[in-house]
Amino acid sequence: MALRRFIHIILNPAAGSRNRALLDAVAARLKAAGADVTIELTRAPGHATELARAAARSGKADVIVAAGGDGTINEVARGLLGQGVPLGILPLGTANVLAIEIGLPLKAENIASMLLGGPAELIGTGLVEGEIFLLMVGIGFDGEIVHGIDPKLKRLWGKGAFIWSGLKTWVRGPGHEISLAVDGREKQAAWAIVTNARHYAGPFVLAQKAKITEPGLTLFLFRKKSRLAFAVYLAALGLGLVERLRSVEVMPARVIEFRAPKGLAVEVDGDERGFLPQRIEQGKQFLRMVVPG
pLDDT in tens, 78-118: 999 988 899 999 999 888 999 999 999 999 999 999 999 99
Q: At residue 269, does pLDDT exceed 70?
A: yes
Reported confidence tier of residue 70, pLDDT bands at 50, 70, 90 = very high
In terms of DSSP bridges, do strands 87-91 and 63-68 run parallel, antiparallel, or are they unpaired? Answer: parallel
Burial of 185 (0-12, 13-18, 19+ CB in 10 A): exposed
* Dihedral Cα 98, 102, 108, 109, nearest 10 deg: -170
Give me the sign of the Cα torsion angle 116, 118, 119, 123. negative
Amino acid at site 267: E
Q: What H or E segment, with its residue span, contains residue 47?
A: helix 47-58
Is residue 240 within 8 Å of 63, Cβ to Cβ? no
pLDDT reported for residue 19: 78
Angle in degrees, CA 135, 281, 223, rounded to 5: 75
Q: Mean pLDDT over residues 147-165, rounded? A: 82
Average pLDDT, the chain: 94
Q: Mean pLDDT over residues 140-156, rounded? A: 87
pLDDT reported for residue 17: 55
**DSSP class of 166:** H
pLDDT reported for residue 18: 58
What pTM, to 2 d.p., does this model score?
0.92
Is residue 76 within 8 Å of 49, Cβ to Cβ? yes
Q: At residue 158, does pLDDT exceed 80?
A: no
Residues 6+ apart with CB under 8 A from 84: 56, 288
Angle in degrees, CA 57, 58, 61, rounded to 5: 100
pLDDT reported for residue 1: 63
For residue 164, the Cα-to-chain-centroid distance in whole angstroms is 20
Distance in Å from the first CA to the final CA of the chain: 11
Reported confidence tier of residue 156, pLDDT bands at 50, 70, 90 = confident
105: preceding bond cis by omega (within 30 degrees): no
pLDDT reported for residue 49: 96
List, for residues 212-249, the tens digit of each pLDDT value: 988 899 999 999 999 999 999 999 999 999 999 999 99
Q: At residue 138, does pLDDT exceed 90?
A: yes
Is residue 85 within 8 Å of 64, Cβ to Cβ? yes
Q: What H or E segment, with its residue span, contains residue 31?
A: helix 20-32
